[in-house]
Amino acid sequence: MPEAIVQTRGLTKIYGQLRALDNLDLEIEQGSIYGFIGPNGAGKTTCMRILCTLLEPTSGEAWINGLSVRDEPEKIRMHIGYMPDFFGVYGDMKVWEYMDFFARCYKIPQDRIGTLTDELLELVNLQDKKDDYVESLSRGMKQRLCLARTLIHDPDLLVLDEPASGLDPRARIEMRELLKELRSMGKTIMLSSHILTELADVCTHIGIIEKGRLLASGQVDEMIYRLQLQRRIRLVLTGGASGALEVLSSTNDVNDVQIMEPAPQTDEDPATISFGLTSPSNNYSPLIARLIEAGAQIREFVEERGDLEDVFMQVTKGEVQ
């Protein structure tokens, strides 16, 4: 099992009467892309700022690569690259000057800066913009430039707060593919977003947070399966629909039976039936046997995969606006 690069225990942050984080216990595996999901005000940004040593927790502990955010903030900063939701760029600098500035901040050797800048700009597909002023770049290009800047000291962990915010569809796809490439290079990535479908496409793990509490966390497929209220089954028949419908209507764990268009005109016609199944068991054999016994000619019996929106709506209560 991969080691945890991020760990928190009882992490709490209080602002006056507001408990922004409430005893948060979080683990992020090395080499994963961890999606942090939650409504606005749920505590995502507060947690990220604490992990990046930009904010002191009220109580609890957090570690990056085994280093305490309370006791060793300067060491931690060499292990992380942070891109906030509202990132800053210096519009009156050229792209290469922007990269050069941050390389010097991280004390990159002078004879290495030029080559490193070229490598990172090529990675984010901005090599042809090297001599352009930052203010002339599109928002998507500025996002990629900011991401290149977070990589300049070769951190183990990238913490990205809403990295796809404000991007057009093409720029979002480019950002998603870039994150996958960074993972293949050995980076661990923690990102927050409310665009759930995009997280499903890129993340290996997700955590759902609301009112400062971590409600669920785990691998994406495992979470979708474990937290679905019911499974959805698609039954494709080459004949025998009437017998199948009779069995389904008399089965306690089956609900919301739907005959998909085109509906069969006779019992010899093909048919597709969709239905919900609330049984916790993964053993479909008894139900399939009953369907066959009733004359159903089964071509497919397929469990339809849910999505992150199903998980999110089930786990959260919508208490944060």
More confident residue, 73 or 227: 73
Instruction: Give me the domains of the chain, ranges plus CATH numbers.
Output: 4-226 (3.40.50.300), 230-306 (3.30.70.100)
pLDDT value of position 178: 92
What's at 125, amino acid-wise?
Answer: N
Average pLDDT, the chain: 89
Q: Per-residue pLDDT tens for 305-316? A: 655 666 666 666
The answer to whether the bond into 262 is cis (omega within 30° of 0) is: yes
Portion of the chain with pLDDT greater than 70, in percent: 89
Closest CA to 260 of 247, 277, 275, 244: 275
Give the pairing of strands 205-210 and 33-37: parallel
Task: State the burial class of residue 203 (Cβ atoms within 10 Å of its Cβ: 0-12, 13-18, 19+).
Answer: buried
Q: Per-residue pLDDT tens for 74-126? A: 999 999 999 998 767 788 999 999 999 999 999 999 999 999 999 999 999 99
